[in-house]
Every structure is written in C-alpha cells, then in structure tokens.
Amino acid sequence: MSLKQKFISTVTLAITVGAFGTFVSAQQTPTEDGAMQRQERVERRGGRGKFGKEGRGGKHGGDRMMMRSLGKLNLTDAQKEQTRAVFENHKIQNQPQFEELRGLAMKKRDGIISADEQTRFKELRTQMKASNDQLQTSILAILTTEQRTQLDQMKEEMKQKRMERRQSRQNQTVAPTSDN
C-alpha cells in the first residue's frame, strides 16, 4: 500500500469516527431530569397518568364531567365553594378505595386476579357507585331548581351527541359492498 493510500485511508477513518461521534452525541437520551419534569406535570394535573380514572375520557370520568357542567351554570361564589368542598371531601374519603380498585383492575387486565380478589373488585365497584350516587345527590342539593333544569338539559344534549357519535362510528365500520 502506498503512502498516498495510507494517508487517504487515515483521513477517511478520522472523518468517519468524527461523524459517528457527532451523531452519537446528538442523540437525545432520556435523562432523570426529563423523568422528573414528566412527574411534575403529572402531579400538577392531579396525579392523573395517561390512562386511568381521569385520563383520556376514562370510564369513571363523571366527576370531571359534572364539574365541567357545573362551570356552565353560573354558580354563586357560595355554591362554588360548597361544590369544591363536597368534591374534595369525596376524593379524600374514597382515595383508599380508588387505589385498591385501580390495583385490582390492573390485575384483572393482566389476567392474574384470584377469585377472592375478583369478589373484592365487584364489592369495591358497588361501593364506589353508591359513593358517586351520594356525591351527585349532594351536588344537586346545592343547586337551584333552574340550575338543575339546565344541568338536565346539558346531560340530555351530551347523551344525544354520544348517540350520534356512536351511530356515526357504526356507519363507518359497516362498509358498503358492491356487486361488481
């Protein structure tokens, strides 16, 4: 190999190593700082992860939906404070059951739930439903007659929209067939 070829090979190797080093150092790796920022965002949102009770329109998002609906009712400051207190009290009283139910739901989803845990899961769901019914009753007691009427109208509108979306999705999934 001539001196010229050795020189060219060495320069090419140096450029390749430099380019590769630049490429590798430019890659973003998840850092602990990034994980901490994500955790802080989750905590600011009230501990809600991507999925779960409050996440992504979860199955049990009724409390949030009710709160959003209450915001449209022009509540007095006293009513706002009373509803906030009722929601906070409900959350504090039911936090242990929420956590246990969440754990059992994960086990059920993963298919590792025992018969005793399945029974406990059903009991907790029944308790939570009763607690949510009591919450709604407490909130309705704070509202005036006109506000209750407005809330009922909003619920009917939401129900109608839900039905329309469901029918729209069903119509999209049923593709027309052609006889060609």
Q: How far is CA 97 from the centre of its chain?
A: 18
State the chain's mean pLDDT as an integer.
80
State the Cα–Cα distance between residues 165 and 162, nearest whole angstrom.
5
SS3 56: helix
Average pLDDT over residues 151-156: 90
Confidence of residue 134 (pLDDT cuts 50, 70, 90): very high
Highest mean pLDDT among 15-19, 74-78, 122-126: 122-126
As a whole number of Å, the CA-based R_g of the chain is 28
Over residues 47-88, the pLDDT tens digits come to 544 444 444 444 445 566 677 778 888 889 999 999 999 999
The share of the chain scoring above pLDDT 70, in percent, equals 73
Average pLDDT over residues 145-155: 91
Q: The whole model's pTM is what?
A: 0.55
SS3 74: coil
State the Cα–Cα distance between residues 89 and 14, nearest whole angstrom.
67
Say whether pLDDT at 26 is over 50: yes
SS3 87: helix
CA distances from 108 to 92, 115, 116 (A): 25, 10, 12
- Taken as a whole, the chain contains a residue count of 180
Say whether pLDDT at 103 is over 80: yes
Q: What is the pLDDT of residue 51?
A: 44
Side-chain-facing half-sphere of 154: CA atoms under 13 Å? 15
